[in-house]
Amino acid sequence: MRDRRYGQFCGLARAAEVLGQRWTLLILRDLLVGPRRFSDLEAGLPGIPTSVLATRLKELERDGLIERSLRTGSDRSVVYQVTERGQELRPALEALSRWGAATMTTPHEGEVITQASLVSALRAAARDHANRPSARAVYQIEAADAVAHATVDEHDITVEPGPHPKPDLTIVAGPRYRDLLAGTIAPADAVATGAAELHGNSARLDDFTRTFQVPYSPTLTDPPAGVAASPGTNQGDRS
């Protein structure tokens, strides 16, 4: 712990001491989606050395952000899950996710989308009650090999990993899907522009894009063609 200390009696410095190590935020991102075995975390974090993952998990457990438990039943494997203290980080990590995504247009070479990153991105993109439809809707979102589903009504939004048995609309993300979330492609143009492939009630896409939004930053240095600030968009307007 000593080599992580900044020597300041400051909340931000203390947070950086706990969270500033490489891979720590992504491990927490995955565990905020749900409990994971060591092998699940390793598979969901391509490129992380086994020794680094083991070290980070020990640090997070020592800092009180995660804990280990033994599954019951036939699967007696050890799983890691966030504690109540760790759950307190969710709003901060979602804010960081929105901030980082504001300058993301297309993936860099070699970048992948994992199930946990897709769930995390959708949770971060969810907007406030004013933008939610009055009728309940279930959306299934497929991006590369990752699948998640979102259930939306006037009271709540939940985003979970994996497919849903009966989605109202399935959205298969295309090369310009990010532009759809940014509001620079209209829902009516989603299919024609390659932003998405739709299955089910395509009329629901309007509600989806009102509920899930991540505008581009006005400081974006290399925006996609046609990018402009989304009118009436306030990144702080969300639950």
Encode pLDDT of 164-221 as tens digits. Answer: 999 999 999 999 999 999 999 999 999 999 999 999 999 999 999 999 999 999 988 6
**What's the confidence (pLDDT) of residue 234?**
40
**What's the confidence (pLDDT) of residue 112?**
95
**What's the confidence (pLDDT) of residue 92?**
97
What the chain holds in terms of domains, given with CATH numbers, is 2-88 (1.10.10.10), 103-211 (3.30.1050.10)
Task: Among 98-112, 131-145, 199-213, 223-237, name the one with the lowest average pLDDT.
Answer: 223-237
CA distance 23 to 129: 33
* Residues whose CB is less than 8 angstroms from the CB of residue 79 and which lie 6 or more positions away in sequence, other chains included: 35, 36, 37, 68, 69, 70, 71
Indicate the angle between helix axes 90-101 and 24-33, nearest 10 degrees.
110
Per-residue pLDDT band for 238 (boundaries 50, 70, 90) equals very low
Burial grade of 7 (CB within 10 A; 0-12, 13-18, 19 or more):
exposed
Minimal CA–CA distance to 182: which of 239, 105, 112? 105
Per-residue pLDDT band for 101 (boundaries 50, 70, 90) equals very high
**What's the confidence (pLDDT) of residue 201?**
97
CA distance 159 to 219: 29
